Amino acid sequence: MPEQPILSDFGIKYIPYSIQDHYAISHLAKVNNTSKAQIIKIAVHEWIRENLPKEIELAAVLTELNEISEGQE
């Protein structure tokens, strides 16, 4: 398993999209007896796991379409 990076080493700073997001993250941290940083880390991980494959698939489709259109010119 690769070495675990420390996010603070990367200067990552979270600014909530809304005050509701701030309260939701604070509430989740409190009820799960963890930190807000841990809640954010899990949320980002889940978002990447769900969305990255879709983005990769879309990029592949767009590349294929671009190659097809270049071949027709």
Q: What is the pLDDT of residues 32-44, one digit of tens each?
A: 999 998 999 899 9
pLDDT (average), residues 13-38 = 93
The SS3 assignment for 27 reads helix
Q: How many Cα atoms occupy the beta-carbon half-sphere of 49 within 13 Å?
A: 6
Domain extents for the chain?
A: 36-73
Q: Torsion angle, CA of 48/54/55/60, rounded to 10 degrees?
A: 140
Return the pLDDT at 27.
97
Reported pTM = 0.64
For residue 24, give the nearest of 48, 40, 8, 41 by alpha carbon: 40
Confidence at 5, pLDDT banded by 50, 70, 90: low
